[in-house]
Amino acid sequence: MILDSTLRVIATTGLHKTTHRLIARDAGISPGSVTYHFSDLSQLFEESFAHLVAQMSADYCQRLQAATTGHEACQAVVGMLCGPGYLDSQRMTLLFEMYSFGNFNPTVRELCRHWLESSHASLRLHFSQPTCSALDALIEGWPMHAHFQGVELDRNVVERTIHAIVNALESGEPPVAPR
C-alpha cells in the first residue's frame, strides 16, 4: 500500500517533490506510519522502485512466456510498445524518475541493471543475445521519444521494425542496404 502510494505520488509530482506527507495522504494513513516503516525517503524510493521493477518484469516475462512461436514473440514485443498497460504514461514517468535517481543512488543503479538483465532474460526465451539487445534498446527508447513528442507509436511501423530487426539479426545473413 505505501509502495504503491509512493509510486503514484512520484508519477504525479516527481521524485523531487515527493514527501512523507504526500505519500501518507495518498495512502490514507498518518505521516508517522510512513516514517515508522521507512527510515528515510531514499529507502522508501529504493523499495518503491524495486516494487515497480518486480511488477514490470513479471508483466514483461509473462507476455514473452505466453508466446509459442517467433511470430508470437514479435507480437508480444509490439504489444508492449503499442498495447495498453505496459508502458502507459505513468510507468514512463516512473521509469524516467527511477533512471534519474539511479544515477546518484547505488541501490537503484543496481536495480536498473537488474531490470535490464531481467528484460534480456525474458527476450532470450525467443531471441539471440544481439537481437535481445536491439529489441530492448527499442523497447526502452522508442516510447521515450513518443512520450516527449506527444505522439502515439504507429503500430504498423513498430511491427515492421520489430520483424525487420528479428529477421536481420536472427538469420545470420548480413543486412542488405537499401538502394
pLDDT in tens, 49-94: 999 999 999 999 999 999 999 999 999 999 999 988 788 889 999 9
Residue 176: pLDDT band by 50, 70, 90 thresholds? Answer: low
d(CA 23, CA 38): 12
Amino acid 83 reads G
- CB count within 10 Å of CB 34 equals 21
Portions of the chain given CATH number 1.10.10.60: 1-38
Alpha-carbon radius of gyration of the chain: 18
d(CA 176, CA 43): 50
pLDDT at 70: 92
Residue 175: pLDDT band by 50, 70, 90 thresholds? Answer: low
CATH architecture designation of domain 42-171? Orthogonal Bundle (1.10)
Portions of the chain given CATH number 1.10.357.10: 42-171
pLDDT at 114: 95
pLDDT exceeds 70 at position 178:
no
Give the whole-number percent of the chain exceeding pLDDT 70. Answer: 96
pLDDT digit string (tens) for 125-143? 999 999 999 999 999 999 9
Q: Which three cell numbers stand for residue 21?
A: 506527507
Q: What is the mean pLDDT of residues 158-177?
A: 85
Residue 13: pLDDT band by 50, 70, 90 thresholds? Answer: very high
8 A C-beta contact, residue 47 and residue 38: yes
Give the whole-number percent of the chain exceeding pLDDT 90. Answer: 83
> Picking from 4-13, 37-46, 84-93, which range would have the lowest pLDDT averaged per residue?
84-93
Average pLDDT over the chain, rounded to an integer: 93
DSSP percent split of the chain into helix, strand, coil, nearest 5: 75, 0, 25
> Could you give the count of Cα atoms lying within 13 Å of 163 in the half-sphere of its Cβ?
9
d(CA 147, CA 175): 30
pLDDT at 89: 86
* Residue 178 burial class via C-beta count within 10 angstroms: exposed 0-12, middle 13-18, buried 19 and up: exposed
d(CA 106, CA 112): 10
Name, in order, each residue with C-beta under 8 angstroms of 165's C-beta and a sequence gap of 6 or more: 131, 134, 135, 138
| CATH pick for 1-38 out of 1.10.10.60, 3.40.50.740, 1.20.1250.20, 3.10.110.10 | 1.10.10.60
Q: Which three cell numbers stand for residue 15?
A: 521524485
